[in-house]
Amino acid sequence: MDLSSFGVGDSLVRATLAIHQPPIGSSTTPGALMKTFEFDFNPAQLSLTRRASWKTTPTAAVRDGAVPEFMGPEPREMSVEIFLDRSDDPDSNDVRKKVEALFSCCETTTASIAANQPSTPWVVFEWGAFSTARFPAYVTSVQATYTLFNTTGMPIRATCQVSMNEIPGSTLGQNPTSGALTTRRVHRVVAGDSLQFLAWREYGDATAWRTIAEANSIDNPSVLAPGTELMLPAAEEVRG
């Protein structure tokens, strides 16, 4: 049987959770990488939520109700299920260590305390080309359910439910015609990325790669090193 047709083999892209120090100051770019949590198995399910905030102010003079006012979009929320299994190696303590690594995402980092800006780590979920789920976030909860143990009581199988909230990027500009706020986003380069691909994905126009290059002072667009952080201008800046 050819397992490659089922996504198994050299072409399979593993999901990861990059755990970073929180930034110092008012930056919205994650700090130094602390650890990369590698998934044993890609998620069987992943939940994304996006809400818009509206406000309604009751008005006695309006019998049918006041017109609601749009207050803005709310940060994305994501929940992902992580399955850990070492049943093939009953003496392993990898499951315990990996669960503790996830729990640490809810604990204040030593570096942030030293900088007088106490914070839990910032995280970025990465899964190949699934860009919708790739954004800086903080972990709101980790729930681990242990389902198998070895003869000494060490867990060798667990399912973890991890919930995250997006950390919105800085508002860096305004649309000169409408005055509306525009938001730039930070993208961390992964293997296979190109400026043309990013421009097509972000703006639906591959020729907009020049705008990304100029915004990041890139002289040679054919060389993008994995791990490089690129600032992606807002769509209004590209089309304007």
pLDDT per position as a tens digit, 46-66: 999 998 888 877 766 656 667
Cβ burial 60-92 (10 Å sphere, 16+ → b, else e): eeeeeeeeeeeeeeeebbbbbebebbbeeeeee
pLDDT in tens, 162-213: 999 999 875 444 443 333 334 566 788 888 788 888 888 777 788 888 888 8
Of all helices (H) and strands (E), which one includes residue 79?
Answer: strand 77-85
Backbone angles phi, psi at 212, to 5 degrees: -65, -45
pTM of the predicted model as reported, rounded to 2 decimal places: 0.65
Residue 139 predicted with pLDDT over 50: yes
The structure tokens listed for 202 are: 């972000």
Residues paired with residue 197 on neighbouring β-strands, in sequence order: none
Q: How far apart are CA 126 and CA 145, in angstroms?
A: 23
Chain centroid offset of residue 68 CA: 31
| Farthest CA pair distance, the chain | 72
Domains recognised in the chain with CATH numbers: 12-168 (2.40.30), 170-240 (3.10.350.10)
Q: How far apart are CA 101 and CA 18, in angstroms?
A: 11
pLDDT in tens, 121-135: 999 999 988 888 989
Q: How far apart are CA 188 and CA 193, in angstroms?
A: 10
Quick check: 167 and 137 in contact, CB under 8 A? yes
pLDDT in tens, 65-85: 677 888 788 899 999 999 999
